[in-house]
Amino acid sequence: MQFIIDSLLFIHIVGGFTSLVLFWVPVAVKKGGSAHRKVGKTYVYTMSLVALSALILSIENLFTGRYTMGVFLGFLSLLTLRPLWLGLTCLSSKHGLNARYKTIHLCTSAVLAVAGLGLLIFGISSSSSLAIVMIVFGILGLTAISDVIALLRAEYTIQSKQWLKDHIANMFVGGIAAHTAFLVFGGQSLLPEFQNQLYSIFLWTSPSVIGLICIAWAKRKYTEAPVRADRAKTIKPCRTDL
C-alpha cells in the first residue's frame, strides 16, 4: 500500500513540475499552430494526471484521519480538473454549443457546486488554520450553480468567438490552480523559514491576480478585432473659372 502511495506522490510531483513548464509553451508560441495544439493537449493530459493523483491521495488522507487536508486537496483537484476539460472540449463548439461540451460543462459544474457546498460547511465547522481558506474556496465552488442553471434552462449559448474566450479563460484558470498549488505546498516546503501570514497570503493570491490580468489581456488581444480609424477623405476644392 505504501508503495502505491509513494508512486502516486512521485507521479504527482514530477507531473506537476512538468505541467508548469508545458503551460507556458502554448502561451509563448503561435496560437493555433502545431506546437500550440500538441503541447497544449499534452499539458491538459499531464495536468489531469496530476489532479487525479491528488484526488486519490486526498482519499488516502481521509482514510488516515487527516480530514482537513483530504477534503481540501480533493476540492482543489476538482477545481483544477474542471477548467482543463472545459478548456479542451470547448474547441468543439466553434459553430455553436456542442452536446459533448454541454454535458461535460453541466456535470463538472454540478460536481463542483456540490463539492463547494461541502467544503463551505466543513470550513465553517472546522477549527483548522485553513478554515477561512476553505470557506472562501467553498463559496468559489458554489458559483458554478449559475452555469448549472443556465445549462438546464438552455440559456447558455456559444456566440461568435465565445469558444475562444472560454478556451483562454479555462486554460489560464487551470494554470492559476497549478501555480497556486505549487507555490503554497511546494513553497512552504522549500522556504519554511518564510512561513508567516503575509507570506501565505502572497502565495495564495499572487497567481490569481496575475492570472486574471493575463486572461483580460489575452481576451482583448485574440478575440477583439482591432479598431482602425477611418482614413480621412481628402476633398479637393472645386475650381471655379472666372
pLDDT score, position 136: 86
d(CA 148, CA 156): 9
Q: What is the pLDDT of residues 39-76, one digit of tens each?
A: 999 999 999 999 999 899 899 888 888 888 889 889 98
The candidate with the shortest Cα–Cα distance to 214, out of 177, 154, 173, 180, is 173
Which residues, given as ranges, of the chain have pLDDT below 70?
186-199, 225-242
d(CA 9, CA 50): 9
Q: Do 26 and 171 form a contact (C-beta atoms < 8 A)? A: yes
The candidate with the shortest Cα–Cα distance to 91, out of 31, 147, 150, is 31
d(CA 34, CA 56): 33
33 φψ region: left (φ > 0), alpha (ψ -120 to 50), beta (else): beta
Q: What is the pLDDT of residues 146-163, one digit of tens each?
A: 989 988 887 777 777 788
Domain ranges of the chain: 2-223
pLDDT score, position 24: 92
* Residue matched to cell numbers 478548456: 87
